[in-house]
Each structure stands twice: as structure tokens, then as C-alpha cells.
Amino acid sequence: MIQSMQKTKNRRDFLRDGMRTVLLSGLAFTGLFLGWKGYSNSGKESSCLVDLPCRGCSRLRDCREPKALDVKQKERDSRLQSSGMNSGGDDVR
């Protein structure tokens, strides 16, 4: 009786180990697939988390979205422009 229970337990353990390995592989595959999806889509318009103006967004610095790149470019331009005006002023002075 005890022997047969032991056999059943071994069989159950074997099946459980097999299932666990399959599930772990599945989870690893899912993680990699989702990671690849996230990375490949991260520069696109769809990767924005909230539909709000970019200015003030804490992610703006690292964001590669076209809209964010535009905002950053504009900010750079305006900074250059203002520094140019300032330096121009100094020259005059």
C-alpha cells in the first residue's frame, strides 16, 4: 500500500516538475517577447503612456517619440535663440 502510494507520488512529482519546466520556459518566452515588443515600439507615437502635453512629463528626457523629439528640439532652439540674444547683448555692451 505504502509502496503504491510512493509510486503515485513519484509519478505526480515527475509530472509536476515537467509542467513547471514547461511553464517557466513559457514565462521566459513571454517575457522576452514582450520585452522585444516594448523595445521595438518604444520610439513610436503609440508608446505614450498618457495623452497629455509633453512639457512637464517626467519621461520627456528619455522619450524617443516623434512628438517628444519635436518638443525637445523646440526647447533646444529656443534656448539657443535666447543665449544667442544674450551673447549678442554682451557684444553690444
Partner 1 sequence: MIQSRIHRGKIFIFAFLFVFPLFCMSQVPERFPKPDFQTDYTRPDLLTPTPRATALEYIDIFVLVAALSLASYFAHKQRSRRNIFLLMVFSLAYFGFFRKGCVCSIGAIQNVSYVVFNPAYAIPLTVIVFFILPLVFTLFYGRTFCAAVCPLGAIQDAVVLKPTQVPSRLENVLGVLPYIYLGLAVLFAATGAGFIICQYDPFIGFFRFGADFNMVILGMSMLLLGTVVARPYCRYLCPYGVLLNWLSRLSKKHVRITPDECNNCRLCEESCPFGAIKKPDEDVPLETKQVDVKRLAVLFIVLPVVLLGSGWVGSRLYAPLSRGHATVSLAEEILLENSGKRTEMTNATKAFRASGKPTEELFAEANSIQHNFKVGGWIVGGFIGLVLCLKLIGLFMRKRQIEYDVDKGKCLSCGRCFAYCPYEQVRLGIITPEEADKMGSREVKPKQFRA
Which residues form the interface with partner 1 (CB under 8 A)?
Answer: 1-2, 5, 16, 19-20, 23-24, 27, 30-31, 34-35, 37-38, 40-42, 44, 46-47, 49-50, 52-53, 56-59, 61-62
Q: How far is the CB of 70 from partner 1 (least distance, A)?
A: 18
Q: How far is the CB of 2 from partner 1 (least distance, A)?
A: 6
Q: How far is the CB of 85 from partner 1 (least distance, A)?
A: 28
Q: How far is the CB of 20 from partner 1 (least distance, A)?
A: 5
Distance CA 49, CA 40 (A): 16
Nearer Cβ to partner 1 (37/79)? 37
Nearer Cβ to partner 1 (40/89)? 40
R_g of the chain, CA atoms, integer Å: 29
Distance CA 72, CA 52 (A): 15
Torsion-angle region of residue 60: left (phi > 0), alpha (psi -120 to 50) or beta? Answer: alpha
CA distances from 48 to 13, 30, 36, 40 (A): 46, 22, 17, 14
